[in-house]
Amino acid sequence: MQPKRGAEIESLRALWTRQCNGALSRRHHQSRIDHRSYEREEEQKIIQKQRVDAKKRNRRLLNTDLIDQENQVFESK
């Protein structure tokens, strides 16, 4: 029963957030409300940072591979 109750509360909090943020937007306020718990916000920030770091790492690896390929082409000439 507890998980269902938690899901209901989360759903109500999300609805409340959308309504409040809609009202803020209509009145041209820049502030927004986030209904997530601080713990969930922090978890999502960590996940986002890991994604950004992975993209940077992949970009570096790709650049390194391209440089290696160019060097091989020049060395073979």
Please tell me whether residues 30 and 49 are part of one structural domain.
Answer: no
Q: At 45, list the tokens.
A: 């920030």
Same domain, 53 and 27: no
Question: Does residue 42 share a domain with residue 31?
Answer: no
Q: Are 1 and 22 in a shared domain? A: yes
Give me the torsion for CA of 28, 16, 44, 31, rounded to 10°: 20
Pairwise CA distance, residues 31 & 21, whole Å = 8
* pLDDT attached to residue 30: 94
Residue 20: per-residue pLDDT? 95
Contact in structure between 18 and 35 (CB atoms under 8 Å)? no
Q: Give me the pLDDT at residue 74, please.
A: 66
Q: Identify whether residues 6 and 30 lie together within a single domain.
A: yes
* Domain encompassing residue 16: 1-35
Q: How many domains does the chain have?
A: 2
Same domain, 44 and 59: yes
Same domain, 55 and 72: yes
Q: Which of 3, 10, 4 is nearest to 40 (CA)?
A: 10
What is the chain's pLDDT, residue by residue, as a tens digit (77 residues)? 466 788 898 899 999 999 999 999 999 999 999 887 777 778 888 999 999 998 888 888 777 777 677 777 666 66
14-31 pLDDT, tens digit each: 999 999 999 999 999 999
